[in-house]
Structure 1
Amino acid sequence: MEYVEVFMASPWIYLVVFGIAFLDGFFPVVPGETTVIAAGASAAAIGVPNIGIVIAAAAIGAFCGDHVSYAIGRFAFGPIAKRLKPGTKKKKAFDWAHDALIKRGGIVLVVARYIPGGRTAITITCGAVGYPIRKFMFFDAIAAISWGVYSGLIGYFAGWVFQGRPLLALALGFAVAMTCAGAVELVRYILERRAKAAETTESESTAEPVNSGKQ
């Protein structure tokens, strides 16, 4: 435990938070939330590191990492997607993703940032379908900053509850983060189902006059 406290008091902790948040943007195996939550819990439990700098490092790292993911999608998957044959399942899926991002890109980007693994899939897709980079930067900045604040404060709250017991603080913070991520995913699923149902109803209503005219 003494070594943990020494590390948390070191300026290197900010570089670690930045680096892991950065890698998490395009390499989802890296535990981005866990690192930020741990630093936040330590900030409240033992007084170091500085929670404000932790949040800033996490947000900047996430923002930069997401842009690497966007670049991978644009330059690696974009050319492949453009060569897809019309009418194929892959082409239809590509067109659906493109339309969804054009219509609801900002909301999708912000929500996906709170879903481990989902954030990478969305940012890569944004690059592959050619989502405008200025819009991407704007909404990704909102997503990264809000994610940094959310993860840091969850850890800080847990550390405040369990002052002097950083391991319990980390466990509580991680549990709360997973619960919130699950709630976000559930809401996203419900909204997606409703949107698909609305599109089906709309397509059926526009198809009825055409059918009746042919008869």
Structure 2
Amino acid sequence: MIEALNAFIESHADSAWLLPVVLLVCVVDGILPPAPAETVMVALGAVAVAEGEPNVWALIAVAALGGFLGDNLTYSLGRYTRLGRLRESPRPKVRSFVTWVTGLLLRRGGMIIVACRYIPGGRQIVNLTAGAMEFPRRRFVLFDSVAVTSWAAYNVGIGALAGNWVQEQPLLAIVVALVLALVLGWVAEQAARWWRARTEARVTAAAR
């Protein structure tokens, strides 16, 4: 599937409708974890450097805008619909995770909103929870603006870096970029787990 997506992206990199599609994918990604936003951005970043299209800065701007719209829609769903009531989930692990996220938002709102933008699935839960607990909208917009801008630049940048290495072979550039993204994503995930464990240990120690 990824190979087919990469081939499609390469063959349509100069199409006028490509950036609107990227916008739509990034909006959906803010709501549904399976949306391949990161894959699309990394692949297009590689193609942009190898072939000159699409424009890298336009790609970053469109991806950031799509992520921003998706995140704020998810925030609104959490605030104004039953989707935000994850604390009432019948699954104990979900309730526990949401309680933990709520505590983090109360203590370090900006940090958790920015950090979880890089974690598929995590960002949707954080944004739903932020809406459900009525985290101030202005602060959410501020922090999310930082989050989506850095997220878009990061993913497109990984693709562009790989494209510079292998300009004569755009398909190889895409493969290299995706491998780099997977490795860095794994590192970020491990760092997030370590941070969560450390935070929980501190809370436990303080409660004694």
Answer yes or no: is 1:75 the counterpart of 2:80: yes
Say if 1:78 and 1:129, in contact at 8 Å, map to a contact too. no
Aligned pair count reads 200
Answer yes or no: is 1:24 the counterpart of 2:29: yes
Shift of 1:97: 3.5
Shift of 1:164: 2.6
Answer yes or no: is 1:148 the counterpart of 2:144: no
Q: Separation in 2 of the partners of 1:70 and 1:49?
A: 30
Aligned with 2:133 (options 121, 125, 129): 129
Deviations 1:79-110 (A, max 9, x none): 7469x6xxx99877655433321111211111
Amino acid at match of 2:185: A
DSSP 3-state at the match of 1:140? helix
- Aligned equivalent of 1:115: 119
The two structures, once aligned, show a CA RMSD in angstroms of 2.5
Answer yes or no: is 1:186 the counterpart of 2:190: yes
Q: Separation in 2 of the partners of 1:2 and 1:199?
A: 49
Shift of 1:119: 1.3
TM-score, reference length from structure 1: 0.84
Shift of 1:166: 1.7
Say if 2:84 and 2:131, in contact at 8 Å, map to a contact too. no
Q: Separation in 1 of the partners of 2:15 and 2:84?
A: 44
- Indicate how the Cα distance of structure 1 residues 176 and 6 shifts in structure 2: closer, same or farther if over 3 A, else same: closer
Say if 1:69 and 1:124, in contact at 8 Å, map to a contact too. yes
Q: Separation in 2 of the partners of 1:159 and 1:102?
A: 41
TM-score, reference length from structure 2: 0.86
Answer yes or no: is 1:43 the counterpart of 2:48: yes
- Indicate how the Cα distance of structure 1 residues 78 and 18 shifts in structure 2: closer, same or farther if over 3 A, else same: closer
- Indicate how the Cα distance of structure 1 residues 27 and 165 shifts in structure 2: closer, same or farther if over 3 A, else same: same
Deviations 1:39-89 (A, max 9, x none): 11111111111101000000010000101111111112377469x6xxx99
Amino acid at match of 1:39: L
- Aligned equivalent of 2:71: 66
Provide structure 2 residue ranges, at least 5 long, that are not aligned to the other structure: 1-5
- Aligned equivalent of 2:3: none
Q: Separation in 2 of the partners of 1:89 and 1:173?
A: 34
- Indicate how the Cα distance of structure 1 residues 136 and 43 shifts in structure 2: closer, same or farther if over 3 A, else same: same
Say if 2:78 and 2:84, in contact at 8 Å, map to a contact too. no
* Moved >6 Å (runs of 4+): 88-93
- Aligned equivalent of 2:180: 176
Q: Separation in 1 of the partners of 2:79 and 2:192?
A: 25
Q: Separation in 1 of the partners of 2:146 and 2:46?
A: 23
Larger radius of gyration: 1
- Indicate how the Cα distance of structure 1 residues 58 and 164 shifts in structure 2: closer, same or farther if over 3 A, else same: same
- Indicate how the Cα distance of structure 1 residues 78 and 33 shifts in structure 2: closer, same or farther if over 3 A, else same: closer
Aligned with 2:17 (options 12, 18, 22): 12
Amino acid at match of 2:79: R
